[in-house]
Amino acid sequence: MAIELRGKAIVITGASSGIGAATAWACAAAGMRVVIAARRIEKLREVVERAGAMGVARGAIVPMACDVQDEGACARLIDDATREVGTLHAVFANAGYGQEASALEMPDAQLRAMLETNFWGSVWTIRPALRAMQERGSGHVLLCSSCVAKIGVPYLSAYTMSKAMQDHWARALRIELLGSGVHVSSVHPIGTRTEFFDVSASKSSTKAGLFQRTPKAFMQPPERVARAVVACLRRPKGEVWTSWVTRMALAASVAAPGGTDWLLGRKFGGKGESEKAAKR
């Protein structure tokens, strides 16, 4: 039986643009009460304004500033959202970014910053929400992982590691909460046409442009992911994929790691390959 979403509340982090913003509009269109969070409150207000132009009811989306690298700020977000829109049915931990850098040469500070945003930001947002969900025996938490959570990509090791951490944490949590009435889902988009790619390029220390060179066949609009998230909220499942072909390809890569390493080595392997790729 499908879950009726109308009137239920959700918190979405990283919602100033891209997948987060698209999911906020889709959830509001489904009748949910939505709290959107990100560091840039002015960008969140733009999301709210655009929602009105889409016919979303005034007040259906509430913006709240939050830096998910701050554990205390994440806890306050859940408290403030609950006071503002009532009992939280769902939390979508979507905040995150990518960065292209050598696994050996990436500075520790940059690696820690990415893990704090992509992984710890998810944990710190979800944990305080789960306490109330467990007490009442219902709720749904989702983490925006990635298709590359299943594979390590050269020069994107930090990003793929952070996405794998989200994936593994979600799966373990999902099994631990079986039968509790609380659902846990990991979301695995392929390349998504958002400002994510521009932000990634600005933070990257190599010039190969791996994010920007994602083939068009492996790109989707954020609205595609948003629809999949809403569908999962209605009918919960453990993993949400927006490309069946990519899912099968990555399943094969896990089954045949030697072949995968050979293919990745042909494309990216060897010292200086990222710089060579940048010149092609």
Q: Quote the tokens at residue 134.
A: 């467990």
- Which secondary-structure segment (H or E) carries 187? strand 182-188
Q: Quote the tokens at residue 50.
A: 């655009």
Is 159 a catalytic site residue?
Answer: yes
Give the separation between CA 138 and CA 60, rounded to whole angstroms: 22
Q: Where are the alpha helices (DSSP H) in the chain?
A: 18-29, 41-53, 71-85, 108-115, 121-136, 157-176, 196-203, 222-234, 244-255, 257-268, 273-279
Active-site choice (120, 155, 159, 196): 159
Q: Quote the tokens at residue 13.
A: 């982090």
- Cα dihedral 219→224→225→226 (10° resolution): 150
Q: Tokens 């521009």 belong to which residue?
A: 198
Sort strands 182-188 and 61-65 into parallel, antiparallel or unpaired.
Answer: unpaired
**Residues annotated as catalytic (active site), given as ranges:** 159
